[in-house]
Amino acid sequence: MVVIKTKDDLARMRVSNRLAARVRDEVASWIRPGVTTREIGTHAADLIRRAGGECAFLGYRGFPGTICVSVNDEVVHGIPGPRRVEIGDIVSLDIGVLIDGFYGDTATTVMVGVTDPDWIRLVRVTQMALQAGVEKAVCGNRVSDISHAVQSMVEKAGFTVVRDFVGHGIGRELHEDPQIPNYGKPGKGGLLRSGMTLAIEPMVNMGKAAVKVMEDGWTVRTRDRKPSAHFEHTVAISSAGPEILTV
């Protein structure tokens, strides 16, 4: 069931998502070669808690980390741990917060120092694909118009979209309807209506689309061990166009 948010709900969604965005940006600019993914998670958790929020992913279906930190061939759901990030790595941060009853959700991929030109292109294309998806998040479009815009941008660049994980509605629940795949023909699925809040999140692989879950039960990585990037915004649909809440 799709939940349409009231004015008051949207005001609270702005607060939770603005916090998620601030933590995303502060952590992204703080990352240095040599820091562990655990230190990255701890830093994010400190920022979230100091602002009065909770780490939304901690304990979610048993997830053990405060945020998700996924390095290089890890796609999503990486658990912060002892791994040190190095120059040339790309590090995807997925930040979820809960504050005042509403969730915020956003992701970015950080390049640590100078990285390979192809990897830079992967990161940039993923970011552009998110933007292309957001631009389709308007009243009267259908869910798969977002999906199609993301897929087209990614495949034109010679990369692939991950099919096993999808974007989602968000609000009082971290994952609400509808699901938003990053692939599909346009004009399908539910109608986008004012008051819907959606987390749009392309996950893009340099090589093949296939992924697998590692033995820790969480970390998703590419089967071909080629790198993957992830960007995510939470967006409110309104008659004035898409409002990106995670800014």
> Which residues in this chain contact Mg ion in the complex, by CB under 5 A?
105, 199
Report, in Å, the least distance between residue 84 CB and Mg ion: 26
Q: Which is nearer to Mg ion, 202 or 227 (CB)?
A: 202
Q: How far is CA 180 from the centre of its chain?
A: 12
User: Phi, psi (5° rounding) for residue 53?
Assistant: -100, 175
* Lookup result for tokens 């309807």: 177
What SS3 class is residue 54?
A: strand
Report, in Å, the least distance between residue 177 CB and Mg ion: 14
Report, in Å, the least distance between residue 105 CB and Mg ion: 4
Q: Which is nearer to Mg ion, 31 or 174 (CB)?
A: 174
Contacts with 139 (C-beta within 8 Å, 6 or more apart), sequence order: 192, 193, 194, 237, 238, 239
Q: What H or E segment, with its residue span, contains residue 144? A: helix 143-156
Q: Which is nearer to Mg ion, 57 or 159 (CB)?
A: 57
In DSSP notation, 73-115 reads TEEE-PPP-SPBP-TT-EEEEEEEEEETTEEEEEEEEEE-SS-
C-alpha dihedral, 138 to 142 to 145 to 147, nearest 10° = 110
Task: Go through the chain and tell me how many residues it has.
Answer: 247
Q: Which is nearer to Mg ion, 15 or 39 (CB)?
A: 15
Report, in Å, the least distance between residue 165 CB and Mg ion: 9
Report, in Å, the least distance between residue 32 CB and Mg ion: 26
Q: Which is nearer to Mg ion, 115 or 211 (CB)?
A: 211
